[in-house]
Structure 1
């Protein structure tokens, strides 16, 4: 699917989010990556095979001063 050189990571690789966007709709909160992954602004993903990846935002740790 990807025509970039070097090719972007595939949808089943661990670094799939590093693929380049082919459609970006920030007003709707999603981007389509060239590997077929639908990436949502809450960091959730929908893979081309229909698998759902739950949002995985890093947890901010607040310490008392």
Structure 2
């Protein structure tokens, strides 16, 4: 259970990435969140139940004329 007040979002919640980081390993490209989610630097996720969330960072940048 999450000891934080207010509690962190669950691993099943849409805002699961808002949970607090409990272990960060930037040299390896991942962090463990309080809700058990492993968040990768490419925005991919591994949920506690083994489900995988594909990377979802924005990759298309709008090109504007100067």
What TM-score, normalized by structure 1, do the two folds share? 0.93
In structure 2, the gaps of 5 or more residues are: none
Query: 1:51 and 2:44 equivalent?
Result: no
Q: How many residues are paired up?
A: 65
Match of 1:2 in 2: 2
Which residues of 2 match residues 30-41 of structure 1 at below 5 A? 30-41=30-41
Question: What is the alpha-carbon root mean square deviation over aligned residues?
Answer: 0.9
Which aligned segments of 4 or more residues in structure 1 are displaced greater than 4 angstroms?
none
User: How far apart are the structure 1 equivalents of 2:63 and 2:56?
Assistant: 18
